[in-house]
Amino acid sequence: MKLTRNLKQHLLPVCLVLAFALLLGLTLNLYKPLKQLTQKKVPNPDNLLKFDSMVWTGDCTKDGLTYHMNEDGSWHIFGTSTKATGIFLTLERFSLETGKTYMLSSGMKHAGVKSYWLCLAGTDNNYYMGDVSPDYDSKPAERIYGAFEAKSGVTYHVDFIVPYAGAVIDEMVYPCLVEGTEAGDFYIYK
């Protein structure tokens, strides 16, 4: 009888402490995902490809793929390519300040027929691939990977390329070009 009374006296505080610890653990584990869901995503203010300062192609369909520009400057690209294809997402060329270094957040998938990439097509006949990192040694000379220095007289288009027919694509692409050697995120959390 005495053992039962002692057990009851100590069991209630122990149970309360365990219940509190469990509740605290659940709260901490759920906080991060809930915080991410409730935080507003906004365009990166350092992105030089500002939505309203560029002349964008807008919604269109080409070679089986549909290109839809969202209000925030991102692109939803979907469909099945009927051939190797590409499209300039910017209608007009733009220039960058000569001598400054820039980096493009490319967005790339290298998965056989489902491959695609985003790059800058320069009037110097080079493709500036940004933060794409090739996994092969025999890359073409006209593909410039990583940060690049803007040259005098060179202008650029934002180019989306699908190298194979039959590519089934349903992707959100976030073009972002920033000054410096580190790729910038299209979205930042505030």
- Return the structure tokens found at 5: 């009374």
Taking the model in full, what pTM does it have?
0.70
Q: What is the pLDDT of residue 8?
A: 62
Which residue is associated with the tokens 């089934």?
A: 168
pLDDT of 10: 67
Query: Can you give the pLDDT at residue 183?
Result: 72
Q: Which residues contact 110 (CB under 8 A, 6 or more apart)?
A: 117, 135
Give the tens place of pLDDT for each residue, 34-58. Answer: 544 444 556 677 888 876 778 888 8
Q: Where does residue 3 rank: exposed (0-12), middle (13-18), buried (19+ CB within 10 A)?
A: exposed
Give the DSSP letter string of 6-73: HHHHHHHHHHHHHHHHHHHHHHHHHHHHHHHHHSPEEE-TT-SS-TTTS-B--SEEETTEEEEE-TTS
Could you list the pLDDT tens digit for every one of the 190 residues in the chain?
A: 555 666 566 666 777 776 676 666 666 565 555 544 444 556 677 888 876 778 888 899 999 999 999 887 888 999 999 999 999 999 999 999 999 999 988 666 766 677 888 899 999 999 998 877 766 677 788 888 888 999 999 999 999 999 899 999 898 888 889 898 877 765 543 2
